[in-house]
Amino acid sequence: MAPDDISRHKYALREKQQELRSLLLAWDPIGVGPNGPSDEYDCLLRVIGMLRNGMTAVEFGRFLDTELERHFGLSTPSGASAEFARRVHDWYWKEPLPGSQVTTP
């Protein structure tokens, strides 16, 4: 059976993106602040698809560390994003998008 096409779940995806945007802005690793652009972290919204496809919290933390360094120019110690990654992973799996691939943490 072919994987479920996420585009069939546009409303649920938009809702997840809004929630993730709020989580990212609250975490605010680059210090945008409450008056900064609300779309500053939108480049990370694609992680919803990665989580849906089975990315673990550990893999997500590594991904975030890499993105913070390469995309945002931050020099962070390895594992700096682990706590936030775990929180987002738990948030996603409380109400996963349809067709999500279950993983172990």
pLDDT digits (tens, 9 = 90+) for 13-32: 999 999 999 999 999 999 99
Hey, how many other C-beta atoms are within 10 angstroms of the C-beta on 98?
11
Specify whether the CB–CB gap between 87 and 23 falls below 8 A.
Answer: yes
Residues 65-87 have a mean pLDDT of 88
pLDDT-based confidence at residue 104 (cuts at 50, 70, 90): low
Which tokens hold the place of 74?
């931050």
CB 68 within 8 A of CB 81: yes
Burial degree of 89 (CB within 10 A; 0-12, 13-18, 19+): buried
Instruction: Provide the CB-side half-sphere exposure for 32 (13 A, CA).
Output: 18
In this structure, what token pair is assigned to residue 53? 């496809």
pLDDT at residue 2, rounded to an integer: 42
pTM of the predicted protein model: 0.85
